[in-house]
Amino acid sequence: MNHTERLPRNRTYLMCPPKHFTVEYAINPWMDTTVPVDAVLALKQWEILRDTLGDLGHQVHVLDAVAGLPDMVYAANGAFSVDGTVYGARFRHAERSAEADAHREFYATQGWSFAGPQHINEGEGDFAYLPAAYGGMVLAGYGFRTDPAAHAEAQEVLGRPVVSLRLVDPAFYHLDTALAALDDRNVTYYPGAFSAASQRVLAQLFPDAVHADRADAEAFGLNLVSDGRHVILNTEAMAMGDKLRAAGYLPVHVDLSELKRGGGSVKCAVAELRG
């Protein structure tokens, strides 16, 4: 693809402020309960991310934070939507289970078609959608959080083919820590986060993918949000930004150092609403 063809598409997003964000428990390798969170800084960084998306022309809805749910700031995990249909989340860990109810209530107020899940899945944490790839394709991760059975369930709910990808490294426990959609048909990913078979599948589906290395992934450089041209990623992932620039995208760096304490970055904090 000619780099001049990297065109943005306006998006609609959902975010939840980190009003109650702390690291009170450890459910992924990045969480350290001995290091306190700077709540003021976390909120400031979140506001900069929200404003960055708005300045790029995107609409951002805000979900009210709920006391007692410190991880609710990771709004991407609460559901997964395609063409106005929402497949709800069912969290692996009890500490986060009530977040699914808050997301379901939001979609109800918006009049969306909502399907409650039977199987454990963590929303956009383990699902990615590429509307122009092979007529519209869902990539789905499993291995740590989402049950493989949820992939078939999502396919029935959404009416889109779902490709299962096995995650094998606990450091990259969600798909969105190891892979991201750069536009409507292409992705970037860290091969080492996936099983050998899943690596072969990705190579076949996306021969023009931007490959990241382990340092990029550990900097949460794949936990990004892209509108097809502008790629928002954290300031720690400068090397990943260089790779994206070389591929014709425009990296936009924001500092989310406090949210990383909970094991998330840009994408974890942003759910896309696909109406």
Catalytic residue among 58, 103, 151, 174: 174
Distance CA 20, CA 75 (A): 13
Four-CA torsion 23, 25, 29, 32, nearest 10 degrees: 50
Measured at the CA of 235, the angle between CA 206 and CA 39, to 5 degrees, comes to: 120
**DSSP summary character for residue 108:** H
Distance CA 102, CA 266 (A): 21
Catalytic residue among 58, 103, 151, 268: 268
Q: Which of 185, 254, 204 is nearest to 47 (CA)?
A: 254
Task: Name every residue whose Cβ is closer than 8 Å to that of residue 197 and which is 6 or more positions away in sequence.
Answer: 166
Q: Please confirm, yes or no, whether 16 is among the known catalytic residues.
A: no
Tokens for 268, please give them: 């974890």
CA atoms within 13 A on the CB side of 42: 24
Distance CA 74, CA 229 (A): 23
Helix (H) or strand (E) holding 204: helix 196-205
Q: Please confirm, yes or no, whether 174 is among the known catalytic residues.
A: yes
User: Edge-to-edge strand order for the sheet containing 225-226?
Assistant: 225-226, 230-234, 250-254
With contact defined as beta carbons under 8 Å apart, do 165 and 159 qualify?
no
Distance CA 226, CA 235 (A): 15
Active site positions, annotated: 174, 268
